Amino acid sequence: MGGFFGIAKHNECINELFYGVDYNSHMGTKRAGIATCNNGVFTRSIHNIENSYFRSKFEGDLKDFAGKVGIGVISDTDAQPIIVNCHLGKFAIVTVGRINNISALEKELLAKGHHFCEHSYDIINPTEMIAALISEGSDYVSGIENVYKRVKGSCSMLLLTEDSIIAARDRLGRTPIIIGKKDGAHAATSETCAFPNLGFEVCYNVGPAEIVEIKADSIKQLKAPEEEMQICAFLWTYYGYPVCEYENRNVDLMRYDSGLEMGKNDDTEVDFVSAVPDSGIGMALGYAEGKNVPYKRGIVKYTPTWPRSFTPSTQERRELVAKMKLIPNRALLYDKRVIFCDDSIVRGTQLRDNVKDLFECGAKEVHIRISCPPLIYPCKYINFTASKSEMELITRRVIQELEGDAGKDLEEYATTDSPKYNAMVERIRQQLGLTSLRFNSIETVVKAIGLPKCKICTHCFDGSSFD
């Protein structure tokens, strides 16, 4: 996925830009970049952050930056920002999203005389593609609207001009852009955890397909928002940092409420509830209260050196990192019946290894509760998983075993408590070696988010599409 941050100030912005981008680091693990503009001169730096942290890579570059406006990005895909000079003027751009039809767009634009300079992973740089589409417009607004019309997938972006930032949220608002304000400055970000320690307060949520221009002392709407929205449910379930808010709904409160609801309806007898850290903590706290049993830390995450295991490119490395970062607390687990709360099950490999370790530490029973429904469909909108194929999902492999066809009766398998749903969950439980396994329902997730179902993307759970 990815996250970005931009700022416009009355004075030098590099310090706030540096730390603001850093507060998006949980959103990606591959590339990071920042750019500023000072009297028409653009300065840019991009680094690979796969084996190090954003701060350690960029701190030495800060002396080279000057200017009152700047943007930066943490990306799980391409190198950004891109700096472009076209008939609209010179601008830098960062994006968050996914272009499903990038090959078709490349052929079309090359035939028109466009050229592309940036290539990675054997495809053109997606952010450069977005810049090329913008350059086809008569102004920035019509250029961004061209992106909305042509891109299949999603794209939110920040553009850095000589004296302002243009923020444009994805056409269906699948990813957020939130604007903060303090004396003499405005900032835009994917993650509101970037604001408090930099002195910003949330002042505006950019709407779906809305375009705004941000300056130090003003926010100007260039295009009004659309009514239709499909914000990703997984922002609350997994990706978001606990203190962040999307559409005025706090991440940790959503996780807590979903756990509370699930715990109230669970009659399993256990000694305590624990979390699979970190994204399972909010749910586990709510679950423990709803079930009226203690919360204890049966697993502890070793945070100093191990990054998230979700995004490494090979399965072998994902398994290794997953194994190394979580440490079972044997003293608490021995001879105990424990419910563990986690955000999701994608491939199942990581959880299976964790469960084996828990039993080896003496746990009598290991019950898993998942804060979202089973993932039946790969994400086709924002790249929230690294899955290359639907068969990487444990649900599809199980359906293949049960039906002989991984795509058969998916609607029934996605329906909570249907016979086929229950058969799938039971087979997953057996494969992972669990005492019991339960998933939250879509209805509980939607209720905990607090938005109408029609405004939330639940494609990965039920296959619903809104293109």
Q: Cβ–Cβ contacts within 10 Å for residue 331, how many?
A: 9
Domains of the chain: residue spans and CATH: 2-229 (3.60.20.10), 253-456 (3.40.50.2020)
pLDDT for the residue 310: 45
Cα gap 448→251, rounded to integer Å? 10
pLDDT in tens, 403-434: 999 999 999 999 999 999 999 999 999 999 99
In the beta sheet, which residues pair with residue 36?
A: 43, 70
Residue 121 has pLDDT above 80, yes or no: no
140, pLDDT greater than 80:
yes
Rounded Cα–Cα distance for residues 383 and 97 (Å): 7
Over residues 67-115, the pLDDT tens digits come to 999 999 999 888 999 999 999 999 999 999 999 999 999 999 999 998 8
Distance CA 406, CA 393 (A): 10
Q: What pLDDT does 120 receive?
A: 60
Torsion from C-alpha of 223, 224, 226, 229, nearest 10 degrees: 90
Read off the pTM.
Answer: 0.93
Type and span of the H or E element at 48: strand 41-48
Give the pLDDT score at 24: 96
Residue 68: φ, ψ to 5°: -105, -5
Residue 307: per-residue pLDDT: 52
